[in-house]
Amino acid sequence: MSTNDWTELTRLWQSDVPAAAPALEVIARQQRRVWAWRLTWISEVVCTILGVAASVWIMTLSAPFGIVTGAGALALTLFAAGGSLWARSLPRAPAEESVLASLDAALHRARVSVRWGLASFWIMVAFLLYVAMMSFVWASGGANPPGAERRMLVVVGVWAVWGAICQAFVVVYYQRRIHELGRLEDLKRALDDGTP
Amino acid sequence: MVVSMATAQRGNDVRVARAQRKRARLTPHEELASLLREHGGLIVRIARSHESDRGRAEELVQDIHVAIWQALPKFRGEANVRTFIARIAQNRAITHVTREARRPRSAPLEEIVDVLPSDAATPEDAAAETQARRRLQRAVGELPLALRLAVTLALEGFSPDEVATVLGISTSAASVRLHRAKAALMDKIGEA
């Protein structure tokens, strides 16, 4: 390849001068999204406070297994709050970082996300087992007041449905993160040695 | 030699200071618009080299604009503004490539290449130039990502040093990458 060839290619490449108006609308939307993020953050804090308060209230009730139910609810609330904090604390490389540095940061985030997905999966399994165990204990206890069994079945059913929905999201999330991690690792390999 | 280097450095300092003064007088929107007026073509060309689908290429361009907008407050003019913009554009393009890898393609690149007014002498020359540009853009788009990143920067006129800065690799690695990328590009153009 001669210098002239390359000069001609450069000229040809740069002769394409497409104009694109500044994405001011998208930027405005982005600014609004900052407010949405803040609202989400506030709602998570409020939910955590309500969750802790409800858990403590359940523990103070004189209902059978109130302590166990309340402690389980408290553990799940704290786990969710911790997960939210952890997810938000993931490092994000600034856009003006070098390509390799920002790819490294993206890889780190993807690996943490995969671990987070895996942990969430097993926590949800534990939660569903906990609900199942509680229902068996209640069913075999025989110490419940009249009519309580039906109410408890409803409670157990709601918890189980909720757990199953969460689990479905966790599985989808985990699969996506695994694929993303695979693609990023391929990219990293390609950038490291310059081959496809 | 030392004197000429010192003079060049002073000249650079003066340019940076002038750019900072100019930027200080602009509102953020004006500043973005001014940067895009000057470097908008670079952004669109980089976006199109990574995305052949018309709609998605436009989305990527908007994404890059937003990223520049977000990064602007941290930019103090100590780095070359083209390098700053190219880094952001390439980073966004990589994120885009990772995210979009599993989505099907629709419109081919040929449909999005603008037919530009040309300074060619005849309409035939202008058509030939457009054809050659399409071939070049297609060849760049078909290169593996690592080579594509390097070759788009080289085609934009970046030096090996600047390519190294944008990609975050050593200058010698950038030179080797550029050599391979240019050879691969010429092969692709030859195949077409």
* Complete domains list, chain B, with CATH: 1-103 (1.10.1740.10), 123-192 (1.10.10.10)
- Report which of B68, B66, B63 is spatially closest to residue B86, judged by C-alpha positions: B68
The reply to whether B58 touches chain A by the CB within 8 Å rule is yes
- Cβ of A26 within 8 Å of Cβ of B98? The answer is no
Distances (CA, A) of B80 to B72, B166, B175: 13, 11, 20
CA distance to partner chain B, nearest, from residue A159 (Å)? 34
Residue B121: predicted pLDDT: 62
Say how many Å lie between the first and final Cα of chain B, rounded: 47
Residue A70: predicted pLDDT: 83
Note the pLDDT tens digit of each residue in B37-67.
888 889 999 998 888 888 888 889 888 988 8
Residue B152: predicted pLDDT: 92
> What values do phi and psi take at A164, rounded to 5?
-65, -40
A contact set with B (CB within 8 A): 1, 5-6, 9-10, 12-24, 26-27, 30, 93-103, 106, 179-180, 183-184, 187, 190-191, 193-196
The count of CB pairs under 8 A between chains A and B is 153
Q: Which of A13, A92, A192 to mutate to test the interface with B (most CBs of B within 10 A)?
A: A13
Say how many Å lie between the first and final Cα of chain A, rounded: 22
Q: What is the CA radius of gyration of chain A?
A: 26
Distance CA A11, CA A26 (A): 32
Q: Which residue has the higher pLDDT, A126 or B40?
A: B40
Note the pLDDT tens digit of each residue in A20-69.
676 677 777 777 777 877 888 898 899 899 999 988 988 887 766 778 77
| Percent of all residues in chain A with a pLDDT value above 70, rounded to a whole number | 82
For residue A184, the tally of other CB atoms under 10 A from its CB is 21
Residue B124: predicted pLDDT: 78
CB neighbour burial string for A115-154, b if at least 16 within 10 angstroms, e if fewer? ebbeebbebbeebbebbeebbeebeeeeebeeeeeeebee
Residue A193: predicted pLDDT: 64
Q: Which residues of A touch B114 (CB under 8 A)?
A: 16, 18
- Cβ of A102 within 8 Å of Cβ of B91? The answer is yes
- Cβ of A18 within 8 Å of Cβ of B176? The answer is no
User: Where does the pLDDT of residue B89 fall: very low under 50, low under 70, confident under 90, or very high at 90 and above?
Assistant: very high
Distance CA B70, CA A93 (A): 13
Residue with tokens 């943490």: A112
B47: left (phi over 0), alpha (psi -120 to 50) or beta: alpha
Residue with tokens 């900052």: A34
A121: left (phi over 0), alpha (psi -120 to 50) or beta: alpha
Distance CA A140, CA A153 (A): 13
Residue B28: predicted pLDDT: 72
Note the pLDDT tens digit of each residue in B13-28.
555 555 655 555 667 7
Break chain A into its structural domains and give their ranges: 26-89, 98-196
Q: Which residue has the higher pLDDT, B21 or A3?
A: A3
A103 near A115, Cβ under 8 Å?
Answer: no
* Amino acid of residue B67: A
ipTM, two decimals, is: 0.73
The reply to whether B175 touches chain A by the CB within 8 Å rule is no
Residue B112: predicted pLDDT: 44
Q: Which residue has the higher pLDDT, B5 or A52?
A: A52
Please provide the average confidence, as pLDDT, over all residues in chain A. 79
A136 near B111, Cβ under 8 Å?
Answer: no
What is the pTM (predicted TM-score) of this model? Answer: 0.68
Note the pLDDT tens digit of each residue in A136-169.
777 776 556 566 666 667 777 787 888 888 888 8
B143: left (phi over 0), alpha (psi -120 to 50) or beta: beta
Minimal-distance CA residue of chain A relative to B29: A24
For A129-135, what is the mean pLDDT? 77
Q: Calculate the CA dihedral of residues B97, B102, B107, B108 and round it to 10 degrees.
A: 60
For residue A34, the tally of other CB atoms under 10 A from its CB is 9
Residue B179: predicted pLDDT: 92
Vertex B103 angle, CA B97 and B108, to 5°: 80
Q: Which of A5, A27, A192 to mutate to test the interface with B (most CBs of B within 10 A)?
A: A27
User: A111-120, B23-32, B152-161: which has the highest mean pLDDT?
Assistant: B152-161
For A77-82, what is the mean pLDDT? 83
Distance CA A106, CA A179 (A): 13
pLDDT at B132 over 90: no
Q: Which of A8, A92, A96, A102 to mutate to test the interface with B (most CBs of B within 10 A)?
A: A96
* Amino acid of residue B66: V
Residue with tokens 């450069």: A10
Q: Which residues of A touch B165 (CB under 8 A)?
A: 98
Q: Write out the two tokens for A130.
A: 């906990």
Residue B1: predicted pLDDT: 45
